[in-house]
Structure 1
Amino acid sequence: MQYDRESGQVYTQEVIRVAPSSRRLKGFAWVHDSPLLPAGWEAYSPVGAHSLKHMAMRAVLSDQRTLSTAHFKGVPWSIARYLWECVCRSKRTSLYLWKIFATAYPAEFNQISHRYLLKPSSKKMAVTNYLKLLSSASVDWTAVVSLSVELFEPHEFLEVANVRNLIGLEIRTQPKRTEFGYEATVSVSDRVIKGWSEQALTGQAFEHLQILVLRLQTGLTEHMFAYLNAFPTLNAFLMQGCPRLYSKEAREMAEKHGWVPFVVHYSDHSLYKIIENMDSELESQTQDCRLMCIDSLPVVDFSLYCRNLRSLHSEEQILFRRKYRATDHLSLQEKKAQKTHNGSDIAPSQPDSKQNKRVVKESCKKDMKGLLDQFKYDSP
């Protein structure tokens, strides 16, 4: 705190960087968005000069890369709302600025811009970079993510765990047309689900994941249900077009681990809409059985699919709802390993030292006798 002797006021002084760093100038945040106002946008007024408020607005929004959450510290919501309305009017909304407002004004901004839809027409950078754009370690907003398996590099599947604010995840495959019809060529496997569950057990990943949707994943088996209980908040698992998960064995395995199957008829176009429909259908149930209300925080609705997705209308959808939480398979393995480890810490029983000495002594006597006998027969 500083004191001004002339005015008698106490104040604080803070320097905020205005010029964007080189990382922001060329960062992946602007692959699909533009940080600049359109050239000449509202530069001139049809009647007289623009107000000082309008000119200040154009100066602030001229380059969004210069802005950060710190710039809005102490700025009234009424001014921030005016800036956002101007951005919308100029058609220069960006995920970057949306996240700043969602962090600085969580309750107020959620009322006017609850959902940010990010739906690129094509992949222009690595999936890992898209996931970084969505992530919020402090959960200032949530994320609903839908991706095609074909867009992943093998090492990128585990990167999904870095989206700490993830509440909904959909993975699907785009089948290719062959002479025998459509066939899924790539798929996630039980190993991927196991990898995610291991990350969830650390307490540093998937803390808020509530619904998992897997479509056309031919590599999954009924054994995947053994790993789902590692996700602490997962309450719903929707499956469609996964051949081995329709079997009797799969349903028995699901029920064994606390999941109850239902046949549903949701549209396969939007995971966000599925979550909304689930909440509206389950309003009469207890809060523990429902998904978290998706309206409670701002949400980024991100989807990146391969083009020309085949309709899955003919494929039956099975929704597995969590009835109770069974002990997950990995936790049992850890307990067994810990028990074995503790058992190995006990000092092994020591053999009788006298018995060892006696055996060694007798052996030495026998060897010496044989040696003397050899000299006896070898002597002339």
Structure 2
Amino acid sequence: MSKSLRVRAPFDPIAAEYADLKYDEGSGALYVETYSQTVSASASQWAWKARGRAGGATGRQDGVLGAPSLESSAMRSVLENLSSITVDVLQWVPWRIGERIWKEVVRAQLDSFHIWRVFVTVYHEEEEMSLMYHRQSIIKPSIPLDGYVKPIVSESFHWITHLSISNVIFSRSELVNLSKLVNIGALDILASPRFPQISRDTMEDGIVRAWSRAAAEEGAFPKLRVLMLRYHTEVTPRSLEYINSFPSLMLYNVTGCSITARSEAKARKLGWTCEAGRDLVEALHRDKEMARSWDLPIHACFRRAGVLQSLDTSKVESVKRIDKLPVLNFRIGPNASEDLFTAFLKLDMLFFQRLPPDDTGTASESEASKKDGPEDDRPEPSPPHKRRKLKVSKHKNFEELLKEFGGM
């Protein structure tokens, strides 16, 4: 929640020409009064929120009788002083001890995003299952989008972010600035028809063009595989001209936008093919490992896009490295995942899939000429045919507490 802060600045004769002067009766001084926007501390604490309470952490297994051991006492102190854990401290702690601490953090439900970020930054190569995935939801956003994006950026790619924004409006400049989120792997922005009271939709072709320019000139979105822009009337076939600048993009979902299957001819010229929702669902179900991600369709799409991307032999090793990274599923707005899951169940999807390198531009000149002309004048094509699928205690610092575990 933002509020105005009134600030008294010393008298400046130059500024006085452009502002109303104020007079302090107590001192007789002249001053200029300005206002600035601040963000309340409570609104910026989302990264620390967890389901458990530090005061309720025992640091020992339930049902154990007798006095707690030295290890249990040390663990309880660690849990009560999680705010002392930083990357600089934890990097000196071996994984055999860090793992025990992390599992106690998870058991006590104290695994806030901030704590997960610290642990995954240090231990992202350990492939611990409980570290490999973190879900964070902001149902009612109360601060600018940048306040959520900055903490989830990992320039060193310690994790991949899947960002879903639904049923909430951010400004055009805020959306353009998503290009700073270098470790984003999947982006879903939904303007759901279920919320007609939200009528001011800022998502449009110009934003995709700005992202494309950032990708081409600044190397933005290097790992973005999946882009979903759903129910945005200002997203048109023109956006197809910009998506080739995203080096890793394989799936472009435009369900409910001003794009139809009639745009397939234009898409194929650019190296994309139009796919129906049923085709993607069947492809996802072929892979049992993907099926385990059905509670998060955006993650399943990310994995599917990785399979398509690996068809380019030059990218196989890069795909493998990215797929081994922990995943942050970050959702802003109500029903961010529910709407996507519902769309999958109804097969109510329209998306474009990048063609493999050897298939790009296979349409002959004669075929292309037959399809030339205004898209709206052409008859609605039949549904796409099925395509071939490719298989401390407070008085002790954190270091002293860790020594009580032994082996340090």
TM-score (norm 1): 0.68
- Residue of 197, 200, 204 corresponding to 2:212: 197
- Residue of 292, 295, 303 corresponding to 2:331: 303
Shift of 1:305: 2.9
Do residues 118 (structure 1) and 136 (structure 2) align?
yes
The residue aligned with 1:315 is 348
Change (3 A) 1:148 1:218: same
Ranges in structure 2 where 5+ consecutive residues have no aligned partner: 1-38, 282-293, 361-408
**8 Å contact kept, 2:272–2:352:** no
What is the correspondence of 1:239-250 to structure 2 with a 5 Å cutoff?
239-242=254-257, 244-248=258-262, 250=263
**Identity over aligned pairs, percent:** 24
Q: Secondary structure at the match of 1:202?
A: helix
One-letter code aligned to 1:264? G
Higher CA-based Rg:
1
Shift of 1:234: 1.5
**8 Å contact kept, 1:36–1:63:** no
- Residue of 241, 254, 272 corresponding to 1:226: 241
Shift of 1:192: 0.5
Partners of 1:214 and 1:268 in 2: CA distance:
20
**8 Å contact kept, 1:176–1:184:** no
Partners of 1:289 and 1:260 in 2: CA distance:
21
Q: Secondary structure at the match of 1:199?
A: helix
Ranges in structure 1 where 5+ consecutive residues have no aligned partner: 1-22, 327-380
**8 Å contact kept, 2:59–2:104:** no
The residue aligned with 2:68 is 50
Shift of 1:317: 2.3
One-letter code aligned to 2:350? Q
One-letter code aligned to 2:176? L
Alignment RMSD, CA only? 3.5
One-letter code aligned to 1:306? P
Q: Which moved more, 1:119-128 or 1:159-168?
A: 119-128
Partners of 2:323 and 2:129 in 1: CA distance:
9
Q: When the two structures are aligned, how many residues end up with a matched partner?
A: 298
Shift of 1:33: 0.7
Partners of 1:183 and 1:68 in 2: CA distance:
40
Partners of 2:133 and 2:170 in 1: CA distance:
25
Partners of 1:262 and 1:247 in 2: CA distance:
8
What is the correspondence of 1:1-380 to structure 2 with a 5 Å cutoff?
28-30=44-46, 33-34=49-50, 37-42=53-58, 47-148=65-166, 150-175=168-193, 186-242=201-257, 244-248=258-262, 250-265=263-278, 266=281, 270-277=297-304, 285=311, 287=313, 292=319, 295-307=323-335, 311-312=342-343, 313=346, 315-324=348-357
Partners of 2:273 and 2:105 in 1: CA distance:
46
TM-superposition CA deviations, 1:127-149 (whole Å, max 9, x none): 21111121101111110111126
Q: Secondary structure at the match of 1:167?
A: strand
TM-score (norm 2): 0.64
**8 Å contact kept, 2:48–2:114:** no
TM-superposition CA deviations, 1:165-188 (whole Å, max 9, x none): 01111111022577xxx9975251
Change (3 A) 1:66 1:74: closer
Partners of 1:255 and 1:46 in 2: CA distance:
65
One-letter code aligned to 2:210? G
Change (3 A) 1:163 1:284: closer
> 1 or 2 for the larger relative contact order (CA 8 Å, sep ≥6)?
2
Partners of 1:142 and 1:173 in 2: CA distance:
24
Partners of 1:279 and 1:152 in 2: CA distance:
29
